[in-house]
Chain A
Amino acid sequence: MNHQNHQNKIAKKTALYGMLIALAFTFSYLESLLPFHFGIPGVKLGLANLVVLIGLYTLSPKAVFPIAMLRILLAGLTFGNTFSLLYSLAGGILSFIVMLLMQKTKLSIIGVSMLGGIAHNIGQVIVAAVVLKTVRIAYYLPVLLIAGMITGFLLGVAAKLITQRIHQLNNKDTSL
């Protein structure tokens, strides 16, 4: 591969990653518009996680992690306050690690997404417990487990459909 091709590849990747961050950011914004509350702090659709999930199945993890973190930082600084940023980071990091590890097992993308959703909620609960200095927040765990699983399932189905299309496209376009 000569120098020019190499430069092209890097430019392409930069553009792609930038677009993905923007996409995830837009999902975050969309979500903040929807009143999606079950009366429990921390239950949300996690729409932006769709980008992370698809990224894990189409790009290298080394690329997806910064995309996920940057999105959380940007969205947290734009829409949230200091603490919402902390919760998002905790949930995002834990769910990323879990999804990365689970991807290697025999679970389908839907299973990975479910565990990711659950991990996200657990991460937030842990931070909330530390911040509020209480163990009582564990009372919300059953609901958060189920909610994480359901939203993870829905996202997983969407991610599966999209990833399949992307792989079909990739088979035609070898420069990605």
Chain B
Amino acid sequence: MKKYDFIIIAAVLAIAGILFFFLYGTPAHNGKFVTVKIDGAITQTLPLAENRTLEIETAQGNNTLEIKDGYARIIAADCPDKICCHHAPVRRNGESIICLPHRLIISISSTEDNEIDARI
């Protein structure tokens, strides 16, 4: 390993650390709404405060969304890798759970209209 390799490692860690801070370190605002987005289009917006279990049908398959105690998570899906199911429950503004094979995004927002959320 040469010197520049270590520089790269340090740089990557620094960048990742900075990104991490901006994305997760600033004060958490618990969101109000859960937005369901399929293929880039918002199909439903649900209040985070109301517990419910919801079957979501996409052209590629189904996911089961559960909103409970202020958290949203996916408890079941028929996609091949089930990454969405293993994802930690979300509740902060801007957090999301993505099922890539189904082109589905579950995201948390504080307003009903959801897409423009960059803080930077």
Contact = CB atoms under 8 A, between A and B. Distances in A.
Contacts of A83: 100-101
Interface string A107-137: 1101100110010000000001001111111
Interface stretch (A35-43, A50-58, A88-96, A164-172): A35-43
B95 A142 contact: no
A: contact size bracket:
20 to 34
B72 interface: no
Contacts of A100: none
B37 A132 contact: yes
Contacts of A37: 81, 83, 86
Interface string A96-107: 000000000111
B90 to A, nearest CB: 10
Contacts of B94: 136, 139
Given A107-B4, A108-B2, A135-B118, A142 B9 contact: no
Given A132-B105, A134-B37, A134-B40, A114 B9 contact: yes
B68 interface: no
A81 B103 CA distance: 13
Interface residues of B, number: 35
A41 B9 CA distance: 23
A71 to B, nearest CB: 21
Nearest to A140: B98
Specify the main secondary structure of chain A where it touches its partner: helix
A59 interface: no
A108 B120 CA distance: 35
B118 A39 contact: no
Interface string B18-34: 01100100000000000
A149 interface: yes
B54 interface: no
Given A37-B86, A145-B15, A146-B12, A132 B5 contact: no
Contact of B19 (A42, A106, A141): A141
Interface of A: 37, 39-42, 81, 83, 105-108, 110-111, 114-115, 118, 128, 131-139, 141-143, 145-146, 149
8 contacts: A37-B83, A41-B81, A108-B4, A118-B12, A128-B100, A138-B23, A139-B23, A143-B16
